């Protein structure tokens, strides 16, 4: 999926992936099961291919610092404006960075291509939340994405990865089906990979069911950069 595909979707308001609610796995693993609030202030969470996800707001409201990357200028501006956050724009190395200027929320969004990020952009990142990012990409781009992720991260960086698995004959992506086997193929060379849970979500995803799916599972993995 090239960037133009996504920019067109933002222009046409085709945002079926956008969730009004905070992702329940984020709230569980970073909230209930996550570190104490005092420790969270030292953590900075990278949200790749972030769209205007409410998850970033939740992270910020729950004491984490946030760094997102998103190619669409519209998505980035919508994120701040929809959430009534003041923001400022800055240029760094010819890229646009948007930063919330409210003292209580440290949210920085890089507007540009994920594949152009440098490891220095992620040097203070402790955690990564990947929901609808890996699975937004077709198979050959997923390989490039996983390689880029390995190149960007320092040892010990943790990722919470959410995937969907379904019969690809039943529906064209995005989202794309990613099996457990593929997660291991993509990440096992450079990351420890642990599956945390799998859930049947067909009845929670009316839009995908309408597109033809007769079975759909969601899985959550913990990856740690070796």
Ligand X SMILES: C[S@@+](CC[C@H](N)C(=O)[O-])C[C@H]1O[C@@H](n2cnc3c(N)ncnc32)[C@H](O)[C@@H]1O
Contacts with ligand X by CB under 6 A lie at 3, 6, 17-18, 49-51, 53, 69-72, 75, 113-115, 131-133, 136, 174
Q: How far is the CB of 95 from ligand X (least distance, A)?
A: 11
Cβ distance to ligand X smaller for residue 43 or 69: 69
Full strand arrangement of the beta sheet holding 191-200: 87-92, 95-100, 107-111, 65-70, 44-47, 127-131, 158-165, 217-225, 191-200
Q: Would you tell me how many other CB atoms lie within 10 Å of the CB of residue 20?
A: 5
Residue 158 phi, psi (nearest 5): -100, 140
- Nearer to ligand X by C-beta: 3 or 90? 3
Q: How far is the CB of 135 from ligand X (least distance, A)?
A: 8
CB of 103 to ligand X, least distance (A): 26
Residue 96 CA: distances (Å) to CA of 27, 69, 76, 148, 220: 29, 10, 10, 20, 31
Give the CB-nearest residue to ligand X: 51
Q: Cβ(182)–Cβ(142) under 8 Å?
A: yes
Smallest gap from Cβ 138 to ligand X, in A, equals: 11
In the complex, minimum distance from the CB of residue 41 to ligand X, in angstroms, rounded to a whole number: 24
Least gap, CB of 111 to ligand X (angstroms):
8
Nearer to ligand X, 128 or 136 (CB): 136
Contact 163, 218 (CB under 8 A): yes
Question: CA torsion 187→9→7→115, rounded to 10°?
Answer: 0
Tokens of 186: 């993509």
Please say which residue, 71 or 183, places its beta carbon nearer to ligand X.
71
Q: Check: CB of residue 139 under 8 Å from CB of residue 154.
A: no
């Amino acid at each position: 999926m090239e960037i133009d595909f996504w920019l067109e979707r933002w222009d046409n308001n085709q945002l079926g992936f956008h969730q009004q609610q905070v992702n329940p796995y984020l709230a569980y693993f970073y909230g209930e099961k996550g570190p104490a609030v005092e420790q969270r202030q030292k953590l900075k969470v990278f949200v790749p291919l972030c769209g205007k996800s409410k998850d970033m707001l939740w992270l910020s409201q729950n004491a984490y610092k946030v760094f997102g990357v998103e190619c669409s200028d519209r998505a980035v501006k919508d994120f701040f404006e929809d959430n009534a956050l003041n923001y400022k724009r800055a240029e760094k190395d010819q890229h646009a960075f948007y930063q919330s200027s409210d003292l209580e929320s440290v949210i920085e969004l890089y507007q540009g291509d994920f594949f152009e990020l440098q490891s220095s952009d992620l040097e203070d990142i402790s955690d990564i939340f990947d929901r609808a990012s890996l699975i937004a990409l077709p198979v050959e781009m997923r390989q490039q994405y996983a390689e880029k992720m390995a190149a960007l991260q320092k040892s010990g960086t943790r990722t919470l990865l959410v995937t969907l698995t379904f019969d690809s004959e039943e529906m064209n992506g995005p989202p794309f089906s990613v099996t457990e086997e593929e997660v291991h193929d993509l990440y096992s060379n450079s990351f420890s990979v642990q599956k945390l849970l799998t859930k049947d979500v067909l009845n929670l995803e009316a839009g995908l069911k309408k597109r033809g799916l007769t079975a759909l599972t969601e899985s959550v993995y913990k990856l740690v950069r070796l």
